[in-house]
């Protein structure tokens, strides 16, 4: 694949490796997407997903209004963060519920952000300049994923096989899909970021089911202190804890 | 109709580190001080549920509400400035304590070279080392003159550190508390930099290595290395912040009162004196006039500049003519560095905001610049601040950005990745400045501050040089794959870089090239003081707050002097 996409390119990777937080935002090209071995039977995924409602406190939709939108979001996030031998993917982690619930709150309505006009497109270095809220972007983006699926393959997005979904997601990432008031590249970035948030946020936000996202990664979540172990040479495997366990 | 309140001796606009220090010192000296803070009250009790990366580090729960106010930005004058609609490049503070609540606590003093940068550069490298487009200026104060104030700030905050760095200025006293723990990760950096012939030292830290009582009688607890420090408040009261140090000191005198939800919109002026400020109660919308004998701007450097501009105090800098000083010498910082992917797993999720080691072998003028195409440099550090899973998904170059390969690589490398980074000094350039935006307004109808800023050739050359040094270090540390940062292109306001914005309300020896004198007293109004990193004539290769703190102690001394004798302090 070409180096042309403006999304999370090698250049972005290099640009961000040295920043003060030491955090990296993401990797390079989406080469090598072909041939990876995850479940492509979306029905199974959806059923597993809905089964999550039975565990602990119930999950439900607060923003999206129909099951098809929800299935599209579930499948798209699962392609970004798939189930594999390390553990659950986005569906198993409840990521689509997490995103839906976030869209119903401040995040979805950009409540803490400057949304006054006038609006102009601007340069990439000036950041987000659309009048659309994230809620509006996700609604449109999900519809667009489906529309692309219909145009390219004559089926709904959630009915496609994994490689077909990847082809469509890649087209979004490379900004090849026309959207209104926002670029498809931006929608893809939001979707990717929100997927990672749902996989790794504290389970109180309805993603990271059973703290399995943290467990896979070796992150112990909320711990009170590391003062007694921080000088140890040995890598510490610590059973993760949610913020909900915090007792002072 | 604005309601006029009783007059006070001193009013501060904002109660973060600068406002808190001014309040504590002036209140101790018997002056009646009122701190107008647009955010809310808060204390350590509010941080007991803080170990939540998503809420605090990703959704910025402690930070400024940009729906009310932001800045506009463009890279250069021919571009249309547009609002920074979402928090990105820097994270502005709000509520009691300001950014001093959610800072890391890395507490370096600027170098002696910094304060006399113009003279010292010219002396050693001649007048043409940098082109005339760079507006190097001495600060009107020397390191030695400022040293006692650095000492005062460090003692208030209880800074943990060790004096083994041969490149920084002379200290009149040792650090109040010993350095933090040297973890296995830090030792890797120490060994590697020593092998390369450099001089590593433990980073001076406001995450205290042991419990400490400061000279004002405030207790600061010992750091627990919980790993939720930067972007979070400290649940233990172990990170020095205004709300565990200077604010209680001010309150205890009985001479200080903080007023919350008070958003200042104008400095009031009559002749060559200021008379007070006008603010809006953000809960009721009511307008108030707070008269004061002395007005102190302590509302972070961006708001300080904006308030002077909307109140028409001082002459706005004009890049065409070079006239005017307000808004001039806006600088930021650059973050060259290199990431290393290791074989072994490390406890990267443990740490503290300022747990780290640094070298200054390539900072300031500690190496010879005759053969390089830039001046100054960067501190080069390794920080073990506690990496968290949403923000940290490191993958080696050429790994896909999503999908199964990404998932595997990001999970595998999360505990196997370290970064060595520089804080690159930033030199003032005639095209980088602050002014008012003609089109966009805040929630109270006041124009937004406009930022015109881009990286310069000086920055690009410096970045390239430091990136190479950082890559050498991480390689020497044993990284299997080294990913050096790419070349510096245009400044981009989207990714977080640092909250180290400087300039715009610079200090100096003359009103020709500065906004305030070396007591941070405004050249045009004796009873107006402007305090913050806006006073910096350029930005050094370190975090700013120790220097901001020192300047705040200096300003407090000036305010107390002024309240006795009046007039210009210089
Ligand atoms: C994530 C992060 C990490 C950092 N890490 C470090 C570090 O490791 N080392 C270091 O040296 N520095 C660090 N800093 C920078 C440091 O926090 C600042 O230098 C310092 O807090 C600045 O203090 P200040 O008083 O100038 O401003 P602030 O702390 O921003 O306080 C200004 C206050 O004024 C209030 N205010 C603003 N406008 C108005 C108005 N119009 N009316 C009323 N009130 C108003 C604000 O609400 C705020 O409370 C970090 C900053 C951030 C955000
Ligand atoms: S790392 Fe230390 S100073 Fe920072 S929040 Fe945790 S206990 Fe407090």
Measure the CA–CA gap between B81 and B450, rounded to whole angstroms.
7
CA dihedral A204, A208, A213, A219 (to 10 degrees): -10
Which residue in B550, B331, B517 sits closest to B425, CA to CA?
B331
Retrieve residue B368's tokens.
């010879």
Which one of the ligands is nearest to B239 CA?
A: 2
Chain A: closest CA distance from residue B227 (Å): 8
What residues in chain B have per-residue pLDDT under 70? Answer: none
Query: Ligand 1 pocket: which of B89, B93, B379 to mutate (most atoms <8 Å of CB)?
Result: B93
Which pTM does this prediction carry? 0.93
Which residues neighbour B103 within 8 Å (Cβ) at sequence distance 6 or greater? B206, B230, B239, B241, B353, B499, B545
DSSP B83: E
- What are the chain A neighbours of B88 within 8 Å (beta carbons)? 127
Measure the CA–CA gap between A77 and A215, rounded to whole angstroms.
19
Can you give chain A as a three-state secondary structure string? CCCCCCCCCHHHHHHHHCCCCCCCCCCECCCCCCCCCCCCCHHHHHHHHHHHHHCCCCCCCCCCCCHHHHHHHHHHHHHHCCCECCECCCCCCCHHHHHHHHHCCHHHHCCCCCCCCCCCCCCHHHCCCCCCCHHHHHHHHHHHHHHHHHHHHCCCHHHCCHHHHHHHHHHHHCCCCCCCCCCHHHHHHHHHHHHHHHHHCCHHHCCCHHHHHHHHHCCCECCCCCCCCCCCCCCCCCCCECHHHCCC
**Tell me, what's the ipTM?**
0.95
The more confidently predicted of residues A27 and A218 is A218
* Contact call for residues A164 and A149 (beta carbons, < 8 A): yes
Q: Measured from the CB, is residue B104 less than 6 Å from ligand 1?
A: yes
Task: Count the neighbouring beta carbons within 10 Å of the beta carbon of residue B515.
Answer: 31
**Terminal Cα distance for chain B, rounded:** 39
The answer to whether A230 contacts B51, with C-beta atoms less than 8 Å apart, is no
Which one of the ligands is nearest to B352 CA?
A: 2
* Contact call for residues B487 and B464 (beta carbons, < 8 A): yes
Which residue in B569, B564, B490, B550 sits closest to B142, CA to CA?
B550
Which one of the ligands is nearest to B384 CA?
A: 2
SS3 B469: helix
Chain A: closest CA distance from residue B560 (Å): 38
A7 interfaces chain B, CB cutoff of 8 Å:
yes
Task: Identify the pLDDT of residue A57.
Answer: 73
Task: Identify the pLDDT of residue B17.
Answer: 98
Measure the CA–CA gap between B359 and B135, rounded to whole angstroms.
27
Measure the CA–CA gap between B40 and B498, rounded to whole angstroms.
24
Tell me the per-residue pLDDT of A155-194, one tens digit each, with 9 for 90 and over.
999 999 999 999 999 999 999 999 999 999 999 999 999 9
Which residue in B255, B405, B495 sits closest to A17, CA to CA?
B495
Q: Which residue of A has its CA nearest to B413?
A: A217
Task: Identify the pLDDT of residue A15.
Answer: 38
* Contact call for residues A7 and B401 (beta carbons, < 8 A): yes
* Contact call for residues B265 and B278 (beta carbons, < 8 A): yes
Tell me the per-residue pLDDT of A91-144, one tens digit each, with 9 for 90 and over.
999 999 999 999 999 999 999 999 999 999 999 999 999 999 999 999 999 999
Indicate which residue's Cα is closest to atom 28 of ligand 1.
B98
Residues 20-49 of A with CB under 8 A from B: 20-33, 36-38
Which residues neighbour B39 within 8 Å (Cβ) at sequence distance 6 or greater? B94, B95, B96, B260, B261
Measure the CA–CA gap between B369 and B376, rounded to whole angstroms.
8
Which one of the ligands is nearest to B39 CA?
A: 1
Residues 147-166 of A with CB under 8 A from B: 166
- What are the chain A neighbours of B84 within 8 Å (beta carbons)? 114, 126-127
* Contact call for residues B125 and B224 (beta carbons, < 8 A): no
> What amino acid positions of B are annotated as catalytic residues?
500
pLDDT for A1 beyond 50:
no
Residues 104-143 of A with CB under 8 A from B: 106-107, 110-116, 118, 120, 122-129
Of B336, B400, B491, the CB nearest to A28: B400
SS3 B333: coil
Find the helix or strand (DSSP H, E) in which B481 lies: strand B481-484
pLDDT for A52 beyond 70:
no
Counting Cα atoms < 13 Å in the Cβ hemisphere of A159 gives: 11
Q: How far is residue B72 from each of residues A109, B402, B428, B435, B490, measured CA to CA in Å?
A: 21, 32, 19, 10, 16
pLDDT for A28 beyond 90:
no
Measure the CA–CA gap between B207 and B25, rounded to whole angstroms.
23
The more confidently predicted of residues A57 and B14 is B14
pLDDT for A36 beyond 60:
no
- Tell me the pLDDT band of A56, cut-offs 50, 70 and 90: low
Q: Measured from the CB, is residue B424 less than 6 Å from ligand 1?
A: no
Q: Which residue of B has its CA nearest to A13?
A: B397
- Tell me the pLDDT band of A247, cut-offs 50, 70 and 90: low
* Contact call for residues A24 and B348 (beta carbons, < 8 A): no
- Tell me the pLDDT band of A154, cut-offs 50, 70 and 90: very high
Task: Identify the pLDDT of residue A12.
Answer: 42
Q: Measured from the CB, is residue B499 less than 6 Å from ligand 1?
A: yes
Task: Tell me which residues have their CB closer than 6 angstroms to ligand 2.
Answer: B 207, 223-226, 228-229, 232, 234, 236, 238-239, 352-353
The more confidently predicted of residues A16 and B274 is B274
Of A14, A19, A113, the CB nearest to B497: A19
Q: Measured from the CB, is residue B263 less than 6 Å from ligand 1?
A: yes
The answer to whether B82 contacts A33, with C-beta atoms less than 8 Å apart, is no
* Contact call for residues B358 and B380 (beta carbons, < 8 A): yes
The answer to whether A126 contacts B493, with C-beta atoms less than 8 Å apart, is yes
* Contact call for residues B240 and B157 (beta carbons, < 8 A): yes
SS3 B470: helix
Q: What angle do CA A46, A52, A55 make, to 5 degrees?
A: 165
Q: Which phi and psi (to 5°) does residue B220 adopt? A: -120, 135
- Tell me the pLDDT band of A45, cut-offs 50, 70 and 90: very low
Report the separation in Å between the CA atom of B100 and the middle of ligand 1, taken as the mean of its atom positions: 5
Query: Ligand 2 pocket: which of B49, B221, B226, B232 to mutate (most atoms <8 Å of CB)?
Result: B226
Task: Identify the pLDDT of residue A26.
Answer: 27
Averaged pLDDT of chain A: 82
Indicate which residue's Cα is closest to atom 3 of ligand 1.
B103
Q: Which residue of B has its CA nearest to A130?
A: B85
* Contact call for residues B234 and A224 (beta carbons, < 8 A): no
- What are the chain B neighbours of A20 within 8 Å (beta carbons)? 335, 421, 423, 496-498
Measure the CA–CA gap between B270 and B276, rounded to whole angstroms.
10
* Contact call for residues B56 and A243 (beta carbons, < 8 A): no
CA B143 to chain centre: 18
Which residue in A3, A63, A60, A56 sits closest to A29, CA to CA?
A3
Q: What angle do CA B98, B392, B362 make, to 5 degrees?
A: 75
CA B281 to chain centre: 27
The answer to whether A126 contacts B82, with C-beta atoms less than 8 Å apart, is yes
Task: Identify the pLDDT of residue A246.
Answer: 75
- Tell me the pLDDT band of A58, cut-offs 50, 70 and 90: confident
Report the DSSP pairing between strands B337-341 and B287-297. Answer: unpaired
């Amino acid at each position: 694949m070409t180096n042309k996409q403006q999304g999370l390119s090698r250049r972005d990777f290099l640009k961000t490796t040295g920043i003060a937080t030491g955090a990296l935002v993401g990797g390079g090209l989406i080469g090598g997407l072909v041939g990876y071995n995850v479940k492509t039977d979306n029905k199974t995924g959806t059923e597993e997903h809905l089964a999550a409602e039975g565990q602990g406190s119930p999950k439900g939709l607060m923003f999206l209004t129909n099951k098809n939108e929800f299935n599209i979001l579930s499948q798209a996030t699962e392609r970004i963060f798939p189930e594999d031998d390390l553990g659950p993917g986005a569906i198993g982690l409840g990521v689509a519920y997490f995103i839906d619930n976030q869209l119903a709150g401040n995040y979805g309505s950009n409540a803490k952000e400057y949304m006054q006009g006038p609006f102009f497109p601007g340069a990439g270095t000036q950041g987000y300049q659309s009048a659309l809220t994230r809620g509006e972007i996700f609604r449109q983006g999900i519809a667009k994923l489906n529309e692309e699926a219909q145009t390219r393959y004559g089926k709904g997005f959630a009915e496609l096989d994994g490689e077909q979904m990847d082809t469509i997601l890649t087209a979004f990432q490379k900004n090849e899909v026309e959207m209104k008031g926002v670029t498809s590249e931006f929608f893809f970035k939001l979707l990717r970021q929100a997927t990672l948030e749902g996989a790794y946020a504290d389970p109180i936000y309805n993603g990271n089911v059973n703290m399995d996202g943290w467990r896979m990664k070796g992150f112990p979540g909320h711990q009170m202190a590391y003062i007694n172990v921080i000088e140890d040479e040995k890598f510490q495997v610590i059973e993760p804890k949610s913020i909900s366990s915090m007792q002072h | 109709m604005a309601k006029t309140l009783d007059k006070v001796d001193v009013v501060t606009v904002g109660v973060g580190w600068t406002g808190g220090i001014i309040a504590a010192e002036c209140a101790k000296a018997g002056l009646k001080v009122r701190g107008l803070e647009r955010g809310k009250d808060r204390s350590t009790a509010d941080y007991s549920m803080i170990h939540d990366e998503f809420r605090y580090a990703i959704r910025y729960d402690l930070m400024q509400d940009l729906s009310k106010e932001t800045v506009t930005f463009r890279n250069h004058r021919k571009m249309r400035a547009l609002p920074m609609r979402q928090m990105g490049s820097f994270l502005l503070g709000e509520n009691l304590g300001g950014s001093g609540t959610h800072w890391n606590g890395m507490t370096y003093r600027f170098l002696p070279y910094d304060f006399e940068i113009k003279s010292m550069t010219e002396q050693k490298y001649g007048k043409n080392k940098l082109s005339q487009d760079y507006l190097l200026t001495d600060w009107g104060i020397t390191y030695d003159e400022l040293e006692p104030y650095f000492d005062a700030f460090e003692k208030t905050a209880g800074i943990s550190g060790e004096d083994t760095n041969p490149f920084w200025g002379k200290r009149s006293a040792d650090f109040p508390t010993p350095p933090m723990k040297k973890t296995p990760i830090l030792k890797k950096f120490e060994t590697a930099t020593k092998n390369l012939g450099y001089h590593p030292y433990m980073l001076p830290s406001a995450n205290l290595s042991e419990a400490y009582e400061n000279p004002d009688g405030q207790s600061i607890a010992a750091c627990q290395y919980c790993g939720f420090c930067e972007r979070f408040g400290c649940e233990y009261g172990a990170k020095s912040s205004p709300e565990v140090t200077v604010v209680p000191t001010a309150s205890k005198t009985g001479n200080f009162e903080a007023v919350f939800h008070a958003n200042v919109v104008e400095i009031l002026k009559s002749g060559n004196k200021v008379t007070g400020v006008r603010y809006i109660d953000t809960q009721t919308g009511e307008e108030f006039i707070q008269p004061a004998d002395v007005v102190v701007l302590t509302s972070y450097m961006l708001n300080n500049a904006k308030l002077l501009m909307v109140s028409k105090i001082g002459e706005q800098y004009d890049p065409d003519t070079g006239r005017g000083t307000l808004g001039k010498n806006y600088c930021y910082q650059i973050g060259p560095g290199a990431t290393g992917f290791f074989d072994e797993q490390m406890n990267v999720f443990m740490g503290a905001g300022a747990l780290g080691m640094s070298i200054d072998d390539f900072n300031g003028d500690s190496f010879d610049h005759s053969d390089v195409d830039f001046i100054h440099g960067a501190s080069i550090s390794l920080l073990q601040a506690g990496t968290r899973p949403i923000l940290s998904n490191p993958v080696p170059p050429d790994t896909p950005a999503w999908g199964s390969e990404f998932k595997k690589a990001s999970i595998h490398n999360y505990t196997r990745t370290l970064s060595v980074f520089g804080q690159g000094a930033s030199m003032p350039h005639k095209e980088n400045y602050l002014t008012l935006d003609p089109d966009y307004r805040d929630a109270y109808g006041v124009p937004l501050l406009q930022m015109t800023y881009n990286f310069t050739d000086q920055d690009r050359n410096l970045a390239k040089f430091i990136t190479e040094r950082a890559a050498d270090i991480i390689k020497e540390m044993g990284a299997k794959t080294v990913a050096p940062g790419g070349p510096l292109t245009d400044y981009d306001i989207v990714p977080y870089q640092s909250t180290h914005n400087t300039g715009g309300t610079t200090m100096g020896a003359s009103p020709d090239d500065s906004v305030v004198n070396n007591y941070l007293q405004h050249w045009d109004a004796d009873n107006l003081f402007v305090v913050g990193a806006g006073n910096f004539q350029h930005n050094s290769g370190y975090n700013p707050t120790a220097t901001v703190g020192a300047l705040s102690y200096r300003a407090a001394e000036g305010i107390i002097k002024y309240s006795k004798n009046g007039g210009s302090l210089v």
